[in-house]
Amino acid sequence: MAVQNILGFEKPIIELEKKISEMRKMADKFDISNEINKLESKVNSLRKEVFENLTPWQIVQLARHPERPYSLDYIYLMTENFIELHGDRRYSDDKAIVGGFAKLGEETVMIIGQQKGRDTKSNIYRNFGMPNPEGYRKALRLMKLAEKFNKPVITLIDTPGAYPGIEAEERGQAEAIARNLFEMSKLQVPIIAVIIGEGASGGALGIGLGDRVLMLQYCWYSVISPESCSSILWRSWDFKEQAAESLKLTSQDMLKLKIIDRIIEEPEGGAHRDHEKAAAILKGVLVEELAGVKKIKKEKLLDSRIKKFGEMGFWKE
Amino acid sequence: MTMAWFKRSKENISTTAPKKENSDGNWIKCSECGEMIHKVQWESNLYSCINCGHHFRIGSQEYFGIILDEGSFKEIDKKLRSVDPLEFTDTKPYKKRVEESIKSTELNDAIRTGTGKINGIDVVIGCMDFGFIGGSMGSVVGEKISRAIDKAIKTKNPLIIISSSGGARMMEGAVSLMQLAKTSSKLAKLDEEKIPYISILTNPTTGGATASFSMLGDINIAEPKALIAFAGPRVVKQATGKDLPDGFQKSEFLLEHGFIDFIVSRKDLKEKLTQLLKLISG
């Protein structure tokens, strides 16, 4: 797809790709297949070199790429018969969290995700993917529906954080997140959580407690954004690269720290370069993982879920 | 707190003693109303102002003294200490930060847990210490709470946690974030066992603590005028650019919005807990 927003480190790759596609257009008039092949192998090795040596900060940038597929993109590309359900039945309908029943392969699932916007207007509509308490309560309501009808839950995590607003505090942002963690621990159907973009702190975790926690390759997950970490610990916004490094927030780090179960590979150059392919890969993994969690006996499901999170952490005594 | 007049002053220099706000020898100035309070008065008034009732910040040592029957506290999991899973360094290495905090507070981390009695009623209790890296929750806090919950399940005794926390411990990154999930899911287990959990929120309780165990009490109790929040006032102000309403995120505000059951002064805390525990288990 045509890329509009180009990150600094992507630039040489995308320029070469452009050159190749221009040359392809001339290929029926001139014999330049040798040159094209040469350039192709050049761009492949360049891409490989750049993407194998991404810094944590570059990964944060990829996770935030404005052309990255968002929850609804994945839902529409991966599932059929999606029916979006709205509202928390208590206050309102939070547009920063979407969800509903859908068919994933053969299976009906409840799929819930945080939703960002693509432009200013849709970002304001989606509150930049920052849920209010009613978003978490809507998510919980949908999970309870899934439980009632014995359908597995899939959550897609992509948020710069729970919204730190006055009304959000009034309506109990902390309580809404805590309640979700509490109730998700007791939910009688399998839960698979996938970090598809940004996994910022409690706002991400609020729909992130699952029997399996997966993460796309170029995402970040941490207790704070690199910018806020920099401003608190270094008292300046200028140390975000260093903070990203220190926070150990990449998918590789998460796997090492035993916080996630699996990394899902992205298409070459990142999910934003090929939405269809990214969704196809994710769908394949989800179908496989669903088959796995469905095998866990019901009476063991909750114990193993609580045990999984109970084992997280590092200490000495 | 009887006999405070006759005790040697050394015993009163507790390891978790709060910062004396404008202290001058034996006199303490109230940060709220400016009242000068003698140390002895201050202690016998359970570390609150004799004029305006302002609750000074205190630590686990003082809370255990206020709530539990004398000599009944038995600490568990005392030796747990933080390690450095991220090898985190900001302006100083996390390891060093922990070592310095252990030295200056004489505590091993930001919570102490154990068993004790409240007017003869057996309880499992945990109390956070804000003095230890801002009462931040890392792996040790998460694990100690988790084990205290196990203890409550095993002994079938009620669980009480007194919170004062700046949130998750940044220097443990996503590992500290996972402590929200860990403590909340363990509380779900406690809930299934129908064992009471009383959460006492003190000044301040914010971030990761509030977004997990602190808000999940069967009964949530707060001390007067405590700051209780998800995002602190500075963050909210910065994000919204709006002036914050009067009393925003204080105990009274949370009571009004339905997130805590009641507010109780320190001097009534033990009696209220006794009354409540008797009603629940009676």
Tens of pLDDT, residues A264-315:
999 999 999 999 999 999 999 999 999 999 999 988 999 999 999 999 999 9
Residue from A217, A216, A134, A212 nearest A179 by CA? A134
Q: Quick one: pLDDT band at residue B106, thresholds 50, 70, 90?
A: very high
Q: How far is B144 from chain A (nearest CA, A)?
A: 10
Cβ distance of A305 and B185 shorter than 8 Å: yes
A317 inside domain: no
Same domain, A126 and A177: yes
A212 inside domain: yes
Cβ distance of B215 and A174 shorter than 8 Å: yes
A2 inside domain: no
Cβ distance of A164 and B239 shorter than 8 Å: yes
Same domain, A16 and A70: no
Q: In whole angstroms, give the CA distance from residue A287 to residue A290.
A: 5
A4 inside domain: no
Interhelix angle B60-67/B266-281, nearest 10 degrees: 60
Same domain, A250 and A264: yes
Cβ distance of B245 and A201 shorter than 8 Å: no
Q: How far is A143 from chain B (nearest CA, A)?
A: 16
Give the Cβ contact number of residue B275 at 10 Å: 12
Domains in chain A, number: 2
Cβ distance of A223 and B182 shorter than 8 Å: no
B86 contacts in chain A (CB < 8 Å): 246-248, 257
Residue A25: partners with Cβ closer than 8 Å, 6 or more residues away: none
Range of the domain at A27: 9-53
Max Cα distance, chain B (Å): 53
CB pairs under 8 A between A and B: 199
Residue from the list A232, A243, A309 with its beta carbon closest to the beta carbon of B181:
A309
A88-115 average pLDDT score: 98
Residue from the list A178, A183, A222 with its beta carbon closest to the beta carbon of B173:
A222
Same domain, A81 and A223: yes
A163 contacts in chain B (CB < 8 Å): 239
The chain B residue lying nearest A317, using CA atoms, is B80
Judged by average pLDDT, the poorest of A213-222, B25-34, B209-218 is: B25-34
Same domain, A64 and A173: yes
Q: In whole angstroms, give the CA distance from residue A144 to residue A166.
A: 28
Same domain, A233 and A292: yes
Give me the residue label for tokens 């839950």.
Answer: A153
Same domain, A187 and A301: yes
Please, what sign has the CA dihedral across residues B180, B185, B186, B192? Answer: positive
Same domain, A129 and A40: no
Same domain, A30 and A63: no
Same domain, A92 and A32: no
Cβ distance of B229 and A168 shorter than 8 Å: no
In this prediction, residue B196 carries a pLDDT of: 98
Question: Is pLDDT of A250 > 90?
Answer: yes
Task: Give the domain CATH number at A87.
Answer: 3.90.226.10
In this prediction, residue B95 carries a pLDDT of: 97
Same domain, A78 and A48: no
Q: How far is B6 from chain A (nearest CA, A)?
A: 38
ipTM over 0.85: yes
Q: In whole angstroms, give the CA distance from residue B62 to residue B270.
A: 13
In this prediction, residue B8 carries a pLDDT of: 45
Same domain, A161 and A305: yes
Domain with CATH 3.90.226.10 in chain B: 58-281
Cβ distance of A259 and B176 shorter than 8 Å: no
pTM: 0.94
B3-16 average pLDDT score: 45
Q: Topology of B58-281 in CATH?
A: 2-enoyl-CoA Hydratase; Chain A, domain 1 (3.90.226)
